[in-house]
Structure 1
Amino acid sequence: MTKKRHAEIAGAGFAGLAAAAALGQRGWSVRVHEMNSELRAFGAGIFIWDNGLRVLNAIGAYLDVRNGAFAAPAYETRTDGKCLSFQAINGPGQYRLLTMTRQHLHAAMVKAALAAGAELVTSSEAVGATPEGELLLADGSRLPADIVLGCDGVRSRVRDSLAIPQERNKYKDGIIRVLTDRTGLKGGEWDHVIDFWAHSPRTLRILYTPSGENDLYMAMMAPVADTEASSIPINPAPWIECFPQLAPALTRLGDRGRYDVYETTKLPYWSVGRVAIVGDSAHAMPPTLAQGAGCAITNALGLAVALEETDTVEAALELWEKRERPLTDHTQRRAAEIAASRVLASGMKWDDEGLRAARHIPTGAAMPFVDAA
């Protein structure tokens, strides 16, 4: 009997869980290490375009994600009170975009990983890896594997332990991500995703996003230099001054949220020996195209497919990066350009430059969607 190939994965975020499910489905034994004491996602909302939905379908998480997500009928941009772009979505022949809480998505992906046979270990902190294929833990353990995956986020210790050069860039804006409820903001236009911008009396942005029947996600962009608007706890005054129509939600935010500066991380290569760097660890990008998670889970599935198609881990890693990297690099570059220029204030650009990833059919995800009867 052929021995199962084994993977050790650092990080039980979206990239790690997608990789665990995809590898488990292909006969691998998989162990995922989460440094926190429980499996959870940061409490905000998230966008999943069609490419990400296809990946979720391929790993068996789509139905659980769809049930409880929100399918807005339109996406519009309003700048200084004027509608500059309007796009119908989620109808026949239209772009598909589901919005949801990050915890909803995370729970569905945990379920898919477990169903594929993955072992998920909490309070297990990865601190590095060796090119020979060992995951190193904070407790001194050295765990050998056929492949190690560093899916441990922007501050990846697995990546850094391998001394991979990094190109890091930060931008003039940052974002506060908060969840609240939709009380007073339901029905009609309030069921749309609305990108609110203000240039007077200051430049601020709120990406208003229904994320379930009762959940509202607001991505609140403020310049780093605007210490009043970027402060935590959130000071609602400057936000209400720019967006008075959102006062019902802004006045009940309390001390929720955190402020993160837009940034990118780019690596010259995504693997060293038997270690692959996946997701934000490899290609963190500003959230301006809502493709951070989409690219992460696309590349996780693509890696599992490459390992299935080749005879050695080294060959698989070479094929994987050659096949998946061009689209990821394009998406990261375009997201960074948008972050630097604030061009979205002029209206959502529904073109190939912005939505190439959204229209992409990921490697291993071409099968029809499995919808409930």
Structure 2
Amino acid sequence: MARRHAEIAGAGFAGLAMATALCQRGWTARVHEANAELRAFGAGIFIWENGLRVLRALGAYDAVADGAFAAPAYETRTNGRVLSFQPINGAGQYRLLTMTRQHLYAAMLAAARRAGAEIVTASEAVGATPEGELLLADGRRLRADLVVGADGVRSKVRDSLGIPQQRRKYEDGLIRVLTDRATLKGGDWDHVIDFWHTAGRTLRILYTPCGADQLYMAMMAPVADAEASAVPVRPGPWIECFPQLEPVLTRIGQVARYDVYETTKLAQWSVGRVAIVGDSAHAMPPTLAQGAGCAVTNALGLAVALEEAETAEALRLWEARERPLTDHTQRRAAEIAESRILASGMSWDDEGLRAARHVPTGTGQYSDLAGTA
């Protein structure tokens, strides 16, 4: 019997997870990356327990855990006051690893290659047909049993199919910064700290150690605040609001991106033999740190569904099974972005952390916390 074949647009986290999970189940998969090089944007990333379980299933967990950072606590400080404090990564506690996006990407890329995925660079996808063709910028039409659009928020594969969608931008955005930790090491400086300033000017820095020497800062500023949202970063307003972070704010250097919070919600996640996965299907504000978690969870869930049913039925089963949690997470992330409620302290409840405590499809065999056994 011939092996089933997938053509995948986008070699980000969703595309790599999709290729790996399919190849593990006997498929062949070819991933197309529009850029000439395979790399992740220079920033940090959170992977909660649900994502860690998926990484284990994909064979990437050990490489990710080796070099990631397990903070002992997550706290919120607003206008100099500690408003919430939560121990993490201990026995029976929430498990959350932080790392650079490059570190996660390298581990997932290696896992995809070990599984047998073919990855092609400088290969731009511009569309797809419901019959199962991936359309490339060079004019080629590649036939497959399944086409996957994992080509990001501005997905050309998704848009070529005419799927009805709702897109919305919010009043805040992020500058993502990687720098060294300077003198901010040890004690409380090993915590993930959500710093807020709301007295006269609203700014936020999510201070995130990514290793012994690396620090990720997600710097939230309103779109309307031209000084604070400017790139390269102007340290002045940030130091004024967060003087305790001056040792790292003065070391940022040149930063070239400010991303406005936005959501994309599709009427459906598939058309014919084409599935839309990751940010292409459900972009969400980063307020719950579940964009990557939902992306890899849904990729693995689709591969499992394709083991259980033929393509058309599998796509229906996949969306019915995976979408309710993703919709909930996207909605809650948007509510948090709009209300800025995190300034009052992280709420460790089911509304916010339902995805984090979820056992993803295809990972039920891991009864322990990922990586603890």
Output the aligned Cα RMSD.
1.0
Amino acid paired to 1:330: H
Deviations 1:26-66 (A, max 9, x none): 00000000011111000000000000000000000000000
> Shift of the alpha carbon at 1:371?
4.8
Matches within 5 A, 1:70-85: 70-85=69-84
Asked whether 1:127 is paired with 2:129, we answer no
Looking at structure 2, the residues matched to 212 and 125 of structure 1 have their Cα atoms a distance apart, in angstroms, of: 34
> Shift of the alpha carbon at 1:257?
4.3
* Corresponding residue for residue 86 of structure 1: 85
TM norm structure 2 = 0.98
Looking at structure 2, the residues matched to 26 and 257 of structure 1 have their Cα atoms a distance apart, in angstroms, of: 40
* Corresponding residue for residue 298 of structure 1: 297
Structure 2 unmatched runs, 5+: none
* Corresponding residue for residue 348 of structure 1: 346
Deviations 1:186-233 (A, max 9, x none): 100000000000012411000000011211000000001000000011
Would the aligned equivalents of 1:201 and 1:242 in 2 still touch at CA under 8 Å? no
- Give SS of 2:147's match: strand
> Shift of the alpha carbon at 1:125?
0.4
Asked whether 1:318 is paired with 2:308, we answer no
Looking at structure 2, the residues matched to 372 and 267 of structure 1 have their Cα atoms a distance apart, in angstroms, of: 37
Deviations 1:257-299 (A, max 9, x none): 4101100000010000000000000000000000000000000
* Corresponding residue for residue 326 of structure 2: 328
Looking at structure 2, the residues matched to 264 and 131 of structure 1 have their Cα atoms a distance apart, in angstroms, of: 25
Asked whether 1:36 is paired with 2:32, we answer no
Would the aligned equivalents of 1:156 and 1:281 in 2 still touch at CA under 8 Å? yes
- Give SS of 1:149's match: strand
Looking at structure 1, the residues matched to 22 and 126 of structure 2 have their Cα atoms a distance apart, in angstroms, of: 23
Would the aligned equivalents of 1:30 and 1:119 in 2 still touch at CA under 8 Å? yes
Looking at structure 2, the residues matched to 213 and 52 of structure 1 have their Cα atoms a distance apart, in angstroms, of: 22
- Give SS of 1:269's match: coil
Q: Deviation above 2 Å: which 4+ runs of structure 1?
A: 367-373
> Shift of the alpha carbon at 1:372?
9.2
Looking at structure 1, the residues matched to 211 and 316 of structure 2 have their Cα atoms a distance apart, in angstroms, of: 40
Deviations 1:118-169 (A, max 9, x none): 0010111000000000000000010000000000000000000001111011
- Give SS of 1:232's match: coil
Would the alpha carbon gap of residues 135 and 114 (structure 1) be closer, same or farther in structure 2, given more than 3 Å must change? Answer: same
Looking at structure 2, the residues matched to 204 and 319 of structure 1 have their Cα atoms a distance apart, in angstroms, of: 42
Looking at structure 2, the residues matched to 193 and 207 of structure 1 have their Cα atoms a distance apart, in angstroms, of: 7
Looking at structure 2, the residues matched to 185 and 158 of structure 1 have their Cα atoms a distance apart, in angstroms, of: 44
- Give SS of 2:284's match: coil
Q: How many residues align?
A: 371
Matches within 5 A, 1:247-286: 247-286=246-285
Amino acid paired to 1:353: E
Deviations 1:10-34 (A, max 9, x none): 0000000001110000000000000
Would the aligned equivalents of 1:24 and 1:116 in 2 still touch at CA under 8 Å? yes
> Shift of the alpha carbon at 1:252?
1.0
Would the alpha carbon gap of residues 353 and 372 (structure 1) be closer, same or farther in structure 2, given more than 3 Å must change? Answer: closer
Matches within 5 A, 1:45-64: 45-64=44-63
* Corresponding residue for residue 146 of structure 1: 145
Amino acid paired to 1:337: E
- Give SS of 1:32's match: strand
Structure 1 unmatched runs, 5+: none
- Give SS of 2:154's match: coil
Deviations 1:278-333 (A, max 9, x none): 000000000000000000000000000000011x2101000000000000000000
The sequence identity of aligned pairs, in percent, is 77
Looking at structure 2, the residues matched to 188 and 104 of structure 1 have their Cα atoms a distance apart, in angstroms, of: 24
> Shift of the alpha carbon at 1:183?
1.3
Looking at structure 2, the residues matched to 372 and 350 of structure 1 have their Cα atoms a distance apart, in angstroms, of: 22
- Give SS of 2:40's match: coil
> Shift of the alpha carbon at 1:367?
2.3
* Corresponding residue for residue 208 of structure 1: 207
Looking at structure 2, the residues matched to 259 and 162 of structure 1 have their Cα atoms a distance apart, in angstroms, of: 29
Amino acid paired to 2:86: Q
* Corresponding residue for residue 364 of structure 1: 362
Would the aligned equivalents of 1:10 and 1:34 in 2 still touch at CA under 8 Å? yes
* Corresponding residue for residue 229 of structure 1: 228
Looking at structure 2, the residues matched to 212 and 114 of structure 1 have their Cα atoms a distance apart, in angstroms, of: 26
* Corresponding residue for residue 157 of structure 1: 156
